[in-house]
Structure 1
Amino acid sequence: MSEQQDWNALSDDQFRAVFRSWVEANCPAHLRFMRKQRPVFDEVSEWYHKLADKGWLSPLWPQEYGGMGLDAAKHIVYVEEWARLGCPRIPDHGIGLTGPLLIQYGTQAQKDFFLPRILSGEHVWCQGYSEPNAGSDLASLRTSARRDGDDFIVNGQKIWTTLAHCANWILLLVRTSTDEAKRQKGITVLLVDMTTAGCTVRPIPNLRNEADFCEVFFDNVRVPAANVVGEIDQGWALAKAVLGHERIFLGAPSRPEYAIKRLERLAQDRGAFDDPGFVARYAKLRLDLYDLSAAFERFARVLRAGGVLGADVSVLKIFCSELYQRITEEMLTVAGEEARLWDDLHTGAGDVDAMNLYLDSRAPTIFGGSNEIQKGVLAKGVLGLPSSF
């Protein structure tokens, strides 16, 4: 049965202790610190349902909808402990995107129908935003939705759709009008059942030969008009609103922290700490990680105090993703000729998935708004430089 209490009434340390104790006792050991960064629903459904039964699946949803109702401070603790304890990432588009969107903008009928099915795992969601010619420049999207009586007819293509091959619903941005002067106008949010005729998913294998991403094609897909969220042609503001909370967590130091521990394990086993050159490079990585953690904490304090993050938070994502790459590159340097191996490298202190982490580190500089886009945000929003486009 779902547990409800005012978690925000606890101190951060008290909540951390409660959360840590329950997770350590309930998160299945075989799912902790998974080699696979984005497991599909069936691989982690056991953990998903344990969280849902406890009422801890959706930390930011209000308790009236089955969530924990955490404030920003407690949510940061939740995310930090999740990473520290090695909990597997669950398919979370329903929890992190669709759910909050419906809670804020959905009709009562939409809330009553969709929210319980997200919590039960009956509906597994993916996010249909990016297109072949509309990724970082999302306002250029062209997937169309034409009104036909009580339905919309959807045609077009989405790409880089994470875990679409294991989802049965998609949160879709479509163009419902081309008459507006600004490209951000005329965009609408639709909730689309992916089992509908005309919806086709094609996985895209990544460097690790895993199908994290997919292409999704829409060929005269009929969607009830009742599945529009908010107002027709006004979906741009909704899309931006539900992405706002992502910005700080894209720069959380958890991935670099995990990687540097593996680097240390490998370096100790291979005798790299006897090399002054390695020690100097390692010291720089370690100091950069301290700086990243301090920067993350500075932005976290703003949220804890009830503040709003500015454009400068983009520096976290850039710093974090580039540091993650540098750590994993050093790991391959230490591995030497073994770096070519896909299999884990054995050490006296445990295995190190060196090549797996190196390949995983390629993606974060692209997803969530590429680092080039983030630098543009900093240039305009912090330095006040003119736009170059």
Structure 2
Amino acid sequence: MTDWNQMSDAEFRKEVRRFFETEYPAELRNLSHRPKFAEIEHWHKKLHAKGWVAPAWPAEYGGMGLNAAKLLIFYEEQQRWGIVRGRDMGVQMVGPLIIKYGTQAQKDYWLPRILSCETIWCQGYSEPGAGSDLANLRTRAALEGDEFVINGQKIWTTMAHDSTHIFMLVRTDPNAPKKQQGISFLLARMDQPGITVRTIKTLAGEEEFCEVFLDNARTPRENLVGEMNKGWTMAKALLSFERIFIGSPNLAQNALIQLEGFARGRGAFEDPVFRDRFAQAALDVEDHAALYTRFADQLKRGETLGSDVSMLKIWVTETFQRITELMVEAAGPDGGTLGPLQVGNVGMDVLSSFYKARPTTIYGGANEIQRNILAKAVLELPD
């Protein structure tokens, strides 16, 4: 078994880049939509055969066991090559929680099935009235014998219609004195009579998000991960890594490259006002990349990230939005056209990029919430 951490960072980056550039299907690069598993199953099988499905998992559980420095390189190379996020919520979210909090029986049963995608997961967190303020969730689970009976509703559940299982936060003690208390972490099958899924069509015409209705849905008691009523602690367990990966500069960097090529083909750089706005966006991207490097270096040194990491998510998503707005401007009267616009031999779906940028300031904790975190935890401003 290869110990990737013994390689130099440069050697590791070269190895990862070679594999991605050689093996990743060209038709899947920089997809504008979240694919169903059937679209990317052949790529997942390649990763699984190579042992690269779970780069952050310990090697003893079938992962690559990468340290923080190598893990950042792995994800940076994925983003650089336009590798689409697969059905990775099992690997990125529920798997690490099972490794940290699960019983040995849960590890033995669930982890191999997550790696192989025998189980495909969706995240049941957000609810109507409990999005960024997740502790307000109202979905309840009552223990009846050896089963939990679950009632409530989840919303914005990504790819629920293409999932076999759901991991969710539920309220198991409605009388807890604080709203963060009395919450538990459950696993459940999606193919049962008590669960109804309705897709939500986006502005771009895609059906990526879903509503999930739970009407006396059931799951065995052994599908409780961690302690009863301690789910809130688990929900925050991976927060630092989630924030830094959401705040990666690649989102804005790739958009800027696309904008420059498209704008030159459309002659937009002949306008001095456009040139000035492009230069400002380019400087924002460079400044953000420098800030990202600072936080990445903290992880490489084994340090815990502080609340100031929220700056990354705010900066990259709002810069990304401004860049896509410039794309629409550069398209002129074609800016409202859905579908690829030709520039030479290259097609650019300007409107799709614009739509894709809209929710980025909301998911992963709305930017308003991130600003509140900075105000209270970093600047120590009064409520």
TM over 0.5: yes
Distance 1:12 1:353 in 2: 35
Question: SS of the residue aligned with 1:361?
Answer: helix
Query: 2:77: which partner in 1?
Result: 81
Distance 1:331 1:32 in 2: 20
Q: Quick one: which of 150, 172, 175 aligns to 1:176?
A: 172
Q: Quick one: which of 79, 88, 99 aligns to 1:103?
A: 99
Query: 1:145: which partner in 2?
Result: 141
User: Are the counterparts in 2 of residues 265 and 349 from structure 1 also a CA contact under 8 Å?
Assistant: no
Are 1:7 and 2:38 matched, yes or no?
no
Are 1:214 and 2:210 matched, yes or no?
yes
Are 1:376 and 2:372 matched, yes or no?
yes
| 1:121 shift after superposition | 1.1
Give the counterpart letter for 2:357 in structure 1. S
Q: Quick one: which of 51, 57, 61 aligns to 1:61?
A: 57
Aligned pairs for 1:132-211 (under 5 A) are: 132-211=128-207
| 1:345 shift after superposition | 1.0
Query: 1:321: which partner in 2?
Result: 317
User: Are the counterparts in 2 of residues 266 and 347 from structure 1 also a CA contact under 8 Å?
Assistant: yes
Q: Quick one: which of 250, 257, 273 aligns to 2:253?
A: 257
Aligned pairs for 1:40-55 (under 5 A) are: 40-55=36-51
| 1:35 shift after superposition | 2.8
Are 1:28 and 2:25 matched, yes or no?
yes
| 1:67 shift after superposition | 0.5
Q: Quick one: which of 224, 231, 254 aligns to 1:228?
A: 224
Distance 1:142 1:244 in 2: 26
Q: Which structure 1 segments of 5+ residues have no match? A: none
User: Are the counterparts in 1 of residues 240 and 305 from structure 2 also a CA contact under 8 Å?
Assistant: no
Question: SS of the residue aligned with 2:234?
Answer: helix
| Count of residue correspondences | 383
Query: In percent, how many aligned pairs have the same letter?
Result: 51
Distance 1:109 1:148 in 2: 22
Q: Which structure 2 segments of 5+ residues have no match? A: none
Give the counterpart letter for 2:257 in structure 1. K
Are 1:118 and 2:114 matched, yes or no?
yes
For each residue in 1:24-50, what CA deviation from the matched residue of structure 2 results, as whole angstroms up to 9, or x when unmatched? 1111121122232x1121111111111
RMSD across aligned C-alpha pairs, in angstroms?
Answer: 1.0
Distance 2:291 2:47 in 1: 30
Distance 1:349 1:263 in 2: 15
| 1:209 shift after superposition | 1.2
Distance 2:269 2:216 in 1: 61
Give the counterpart letter for 2:356 in structure 1. D
Distance 2:160 2:339 in 1: 27
For each residue in 1:212-266, what CA deviation from the matched residue of structure 2 results, as whole angstroms up to 9, or x when unmatched? 1100011111110010001111111011103332010111111111111111111
Question: SS of the residue aligned with 1:177?
Answer: coil
Give the counterpart letter for 1:14 in structure 2. E
For each residue in 1:142-167, what CA deviation from the matched residue of structure 2 results, as whole angstroms up to 9, or x when unmatched? 10001101111100000011111100
